[in-house]
Amino acid sequence: MSPDTRRTFLLDGREIPFREGQTVFDAAMAAGVYIPHLCHNPDFEPHSSCRLCTVIVNGRPFASCTQPAVAGQDVKSDTAELNEMRRSLTQMLLVEGNHYCPSCEKSGGCRLQATAYALGLQDNHFPQFFPLRDVDASHPDIILDRDRCILCGLCVRISRTVDRKNVFAMTGRGIDTTIVVDSPTGLLADSRVSREDEAVQHCPVGALMMKGEAFTVPIGERPYDRAPINEDSVAQFQAREARLHG
Amino acid sequence: MASKRKIATCSLAGCFGCHMSLLDIDERILELLELVEFDRSPINDIKVIRGMVDIGLIEGGVCNAESVHVLQHFREHCRVLVSVGECAVTGGIPSMRNHHSLKACLEESYIRGIGVENAHVPDDPELPLLLDKVYPLHEVVRVDYHVPGCPPSADALWYVLSALIAGRDPRLPTALLRFD
């Protein structure tokens, strides 16, 4: 059998089948193996910026959400070293923003929080930054709380490619990077955003939220109250695979 | 019978919610008292730790000169020091004041606040001086273990305490890990 027709690769020693064009991430999740991730949402184009999904492919690190699966490659993901790196990245995201879980409406449905749980994070290790960031509550339906933004870029990507409105963009560099809104005043109220936009539905944290709906689902009954994110993500991914390719 | 482990607890910039959660271990508190003896704690009102204790539990962040002194006292007298709750671990809700200057906070409370009479910022020498910001414990002293949660559940606190007493790894299983 030639390597081209085998169509499998090794992930932590386990053989994972894949389809032509699938990424390492997609193939792993379809096979029921969770790879921690934050900036990636399988329904939209990958971005490979958070680096949580980094795996070692044939000895070199790659973001699995953009790395094409290749027959016969040797991939490591669930290793002590990679998980320690994932913990450090998550801790850095937590100290760089203002993440007050006890008073956050997104608690229990937040992918940053749930990922921290899955990684067993019990402290932030690094000094807290307590940055000063603007909250934009100008829009009647939508709130943009930059304190909670992890700069995953999902709203930017979705607004550009799905809604085709380009409402959101990132500006600044490094630690000064922030989300900006395309409107004459820079405020959401004066932009073309609307509550039906896909861009405002998929924020992994509580940075973009609908007003008046924060407690529609009570705390204790939220997605990651019911199942840890590793189980929930795999189940959702497999349901999506069955829907699209089943 | 082996000698009892000694425990000390205190609340710095906290709300005593973590202590309430500790009391929520319900009848297990009888089991706990078989295993440990409480030294300084708001539960018994002992004010200073005498000698060394095995486990120190601190809730609340570091907000003023007194909390720095108490925290250093605990670090010097506790073999194992544990940050308990979001405020101790991250600064928590009290650290929301970090987004404003200390001057602005004091003026909001004592000068411009609603219903304030005889407006002035309290300056009695007995009052501990406020720090510029509220800090998590581990930014001031070395902390051995962290138990997040607001408050950590009674089950989480019981898990950590019984692990520490028995000499096991006190890191929480995922089911007990909460930040809210």
Please check whether residue B146 touches A, CB under 8 A.
yes
Cα–Cα separations (whole angstroms), residue B117 to B102, B111, B120, B123, B127:
21, 8, 9, 16, 20
pLDDT (0 to 100) of residue A45: 93
CB contact under 8 A, B171 and A122: yes
Beta bridge partners of A61: A56
Chain A residues near residue B135 by CB distance under 8 angstroms: 128
Residue type (1 letter), A29: M
CATH at residue A123: 3.30.70.20
Chain A residues near residue B138 by CB distance under 8 angstroms: 123, 125
CB contact under 8 A, B146 and A107: no
Which residue shows structure tokens 């409370």? Answer: B109
Percent of residues, chain A, with pLDDT higher than 90: 96
User: Could you tell me if A96 and A180 lie in one domain?
Assistant: yes
Q: Shortest Cα distance from A194 to chain B (angstroms)?
A: 30
- Helix residue ranges per DSSP H, chain B: 17-23, 28-35, 65-77, 86-90, 102-110, 154-166
For the stretch A157-198, pLDDT in tens is 999 999 999 999 999 999 999 999 999 999 999 999 999 999
Q: What are the DSSP calls for A91-110, one per residue?
A: HHHHHHTT--GGG-TTTTS-
Mean pLDDT of A75-102: 98
CB contact under 8 A, B174 and A113: no
Residue A188 in any domain: the answer is yes
Report the residue from A104, A122, A219 with minimal CB separation from B146: A122
User: Could you tell me if A33 and A99 lie in one domain?
Assistant: no
Is ipTM strictly over 0.85? yes
User: Could you tell me if A117 and A170 lie in one domain?
Assistant: yes
Q: Is the pLDDT of residue B3 over 90?
A: no
Listed residues A63, A78, A93: the one ending a domain: A78
Parent domain of A173: 85-214
How far is B179 from A213, CA to CA, in rounded Å?
A: 22
Task: Quote the number of domains for chain A.
Answer: 2
Q: Give residue A241's region: left, alpha or beta (phi > 0; psi -120 to 50).
A: alpha
User: Could you tell me if A74 and A89 lie in one domain?
Assistant: no
A104: closest chain B residue by CA: B180
Cα–Cα separations (whole angstroms), residue B5 to B41, B60, B106, B152, B163:
14, 23, 42, 22, 12
How far is B149 from B84, CA to CA, in rounded Å?
A: 8
Report angle CA B6, B94, B82 to the nearest 5 degrees.
Answer: 20
Please check whether residue B152 touches A, CB under 8 A.
no
Q: Shortest Cα distance from B134 to chain A (angstroms)?
A: 10
Domains observed in chain B: 5-96+130-176 (3.40.50.700)
* pLDDT category of residue A246 using cuts at 50, 70 and 90: confident
* pLDDT category of residue A6 using cuts at 50, 70 and 90: low
pLDDT (0 to 100) of residue A1: 44
Structure tokens at A240: 């999506």
Please check whether residue A123 touches B, CB under 8 A.
yes
Q: Is the pLDDT of residue A37 over 50?
A: yes
Mean pLDDT of A53-81: 98
pLDDT (0 to 100) of residue A4: 47
Residue A91 in any domain: the answer is yes
